[in-house]
Chain A
Amino acid sequence: MEIATAPASKAFGPPVSPRSVAQAMARPSRFGDKAFEWLTFAMALTVAVLVVLIGWELWHGSVLAIKKFGFHFLVTSTWDPVADQFGALPFIYGTLVSSLIALLIAVPLGIATAAYLTELAPLWIRQPLVSLIEMLAAIPSVILGLWGIFVMIPWLRDYPFAWLKRLFGWTPLFGGPIYGPCMLAGGIIIAVMILPIITSVSREILRSVPDLQREAAYGLGATRWEATRIAVLSYAKKGLFGAVILGLGRALGETMAVTMVIGNTPQIVASLFQPGYTLASVLANEFTEATTDIYLQALFEIGLVLFGITILVNLLAQLLLRTIATTSATRAVQ
């Protein structure tokens, strides 16, 4: 009370005329604001320009191949550098299928882990678990690949793959002989690699759900699982979808570890026990061998296709996100 009623001069020094206050306050901010605006604009522009430049460079590097093969490049399966025959379809197929397998494994696992960490886990367990997950992200992918070859694949071959074959061997997906390196192993190693990003992004998103939402559910007598479902996961749906897309972006471009376990055979077969090949893997494997211009250009075009797929996936995701946002809240009661 006393401070508020005391004369201003006593609390804040000698009185100043209103004009000088206005001048003192107006001058520095105008230039600073403009400079800040331009600076941040320039930074933002750099990112956009980089994306465009990379796309243009890829297109420029593959213009010969594009002219020679045209649309056939995307829909033919022959990859024969000796005969100058280049078709990207098996690589596109391998990239999409291995990423899909990775998502099928990593998304439920990542979101469930995030929900456990934010909603259920006792406090003392949370931080150690988060650190462990972050450590998983820090493992160099070549090391993960080595682990994949020497530990994961032999184990997968002896146990899970054998069971899958016994149970679902009659379906085309799990038919045929089990070699070891295969599409399924590739998908699983990608799942391991994208699990940390999906988990940590989901965790941040779940943490940002207002406590009021949780209280609303608990106040109605919800159990922990019910509150997590109706108040937390459903509130965070949009953000979680974003986390999945981030993971998918990583999965599509993942190179080293996948190259080491997927078998590197350009073919399109139903069985997940058969080797496959991804766009990123063929780039990494064959760049040093590309001796002819057209071979190099074809590899550049592979890069362009990968670039295009990631951008397409992101655009589709944004479109989907918009439809989710508008329809989920307007579902009819009945």
Chain B
Amino acid sequence: METPERTVMERMEQGTAPPPDAEIPAAHTFEVKNLSIWYGEKRAIDNVTMDVASNAVTAIIGPSGCGKSTFLRALNRMHELTPKTRMDGTVLLHGDDLYSKTIDPAIVRRRVGMIFQKSNPFPTMTIGENVVIGLRLNGVRNQRFLNERLEKSLRMAALWDEVKDDLHKPGTSLSGGQQQRLCIARALAVEPEVVLMDEPCSALDPIATAKIEELIHELKAKYTIVTVTHNMQQAGRISDYTAFMYLGRLIEFGPTTKIFTNPTEKQTEDYITGRFG
């Protein structure tokens, strides 16, 4: 039977996952220090400090309501769309303070792309328009450049061969898995520094899920990826580092191999062995 432990150990032997004693590499994309977030009176994130390694996949796991989605959204200030949020602490992206008063959240989100639980292409736009809309928003008008980027992004999202003759069709005419890859292409088209994924496969069937996971592997070479997942098998299959969160706190963070085979904290072990959550 496939277990996260087995999967991650196999990956380590193949050299595609860091060994349990690996340090978080010094090349950080994000440095999160003492981050706390409140929704009104409710504290969703409680004093989290964590570094996110560059060109690696970091998975955030934990039971529902543990704050993992909020944490992910805090990395591109998406949580601010919810009214009455408050934050404390710092988040640095390549050394830049994302919450500095002089920084526009729109700029942050151009540097940090995001993929959501359910695919959300714009239904009034064609496949092609969906991919380049981010560039259009940035003021790119050069049609040749847009077309080049359109093809490049769709190729990176492993969707080009499936849609190259249907670029004028509505984005919503695609299957669920294709729509999610279209959303990935849309996020990649603006060349972000990081891609955040909020349970990107939770609405997909196993075949579509496998395709997205394969894609995540390929994207790692160029992008830093942070993903939230409910699915422990998936965390074992795709991530290099895993963070376990519970009740808004970061319980344990380290190489996925260590988290799944030899966790330090009892709570982590209980969660990954299915004793709670």
Contact = CB atoms under 8 A, between A and B. Distances in A.
A123 interface: yes
Interface stretch (A129-137, A223-231, A244-252): A223-231
Given A216-B183, A218-B109, A219-B187, A330 B168 contact: yes
A234 B124 contact: yes
Contact of B83 (A123, A210, A220, A234): A123
Nearest to A324: B124
B76 to A, nearest CB: 7
A220 B116 contact: no
Interface string B126-164: 111100111001100001000100100000000000000
Nearest to B172: A329
A333 B183 contact: no
Q: In the complex, which of the residues A212, A213, A221, A334 has the most CB atoms of chain B within 10 Å of its own CB atom?
A: A221
Nearest to A328: B124
Contact of B143 (A230, A328, A334): A334
Given A123-B83, A219-B187, A237 B124 contact: yes
Contacts of A222: 106, 109, 137
Interface string B84-127: 00000000000000000000001111100110101011111111
A203 interface: no
Contact of B169 (A217, A219, A235, A330): A330
19 contacts: A123-B83, A212-B116, A213-B120, A216-B116, A218-B78, A219-B114, A220-B110, A220-B113, A220-B133, A220-B134, A221-B110, A226-B137, A230-B125, A230-B133, A230-B137, A234-B122, A235-B123, A330-B168, A333-B167
B78, B125, B127, B190: residue with the most chain A Cβ atoms closer than 10 Å: B125
Interchain residue pairs A-B with the least CB separation, the first 7 = A333-B128, A221-B110, A329-B170, A219-B114, A220-B134, A212-B120, A216-B120
Contacts of A230: 122, 125, 133, 137
Contact of A221 (B106, B118, B129): B106
From A210, A231, A234, A331, name the one whose CB has the most chain B CB atoms within 10 angstroms.
A331
Contacts of B128: 333
A302 B184 CA distance: 59
B1 interface: no
B26 interface: no
A220 B186 contact: yes
B81 A221 contact: no
Given A222-B137, A329-B172, A334-B143, A215 B122 contact: no
B254 to A, nearest CB: 29
A328 B169 CA distance: 10
A288 B124 CA distance: 52
Contacts of B143: 334
A214 B122 contact: no
Interface of B: 76, 78, 81, 83, 106-110, 113-114, 116, 118, 120-129, 132-134, 137-138, 143, 147, 150, 167-170, 172, 183, 186-187, 190
Interface of A: 123, 210, 212-223, 226, 230-231, 234-235, 237, 328-334
Given A123-B83, A226-B137, A330-B170, A220 B190 contact: yes
B110 A235 contact: no
Contacts of B133: 220, 230
Contact of A218 (B81, B124, B132): B81
A210 B119 CA distance: 12
A211 to B, nearest CB: 8
A331 B168 contact: yes
A215 B115 CA distance: 10
Given A212-B118, A220-B187, A334-B147, 14 more contacts: A215-B78, A215-B116, A216-B120, A218-B109, A219-B113, A219-B114, A220-B134, A220-B137, A221-B110, A221-B138, A222-B137, A230-B125, A330-B170, A332-B168
Contacts of B167: 333
A235 B81 contact: no
A222 B113 CA distance: 12
A222 B78 CA distance: 12
A218 B150 CA distance: 20
Contacts of A226: 137
A221 B109 contact: yes
Contacts of B137: 220-222, 226, 230
A235 to B, nearest CB: 6
B81 A214 contact: yes
Contact of B122 (A213, A223, A330, A333): A213
Given A212-B118, A222-B137, A331 B126 contact: yes
A290 to B, nearest CB: 51
A328 B170 CA distance: 9
A49 B101 CA distance: 64
Given A220-B186, A222-B106, A231 B114 contact: no
Contacts of A215: 78, 81, 114, 116, 120
B109 A216 contact: no
B116 A219 contact: yes
A126 B143 CA distance: 41
A237 B123 CA distance: 11
Contacts of B187: 219-220
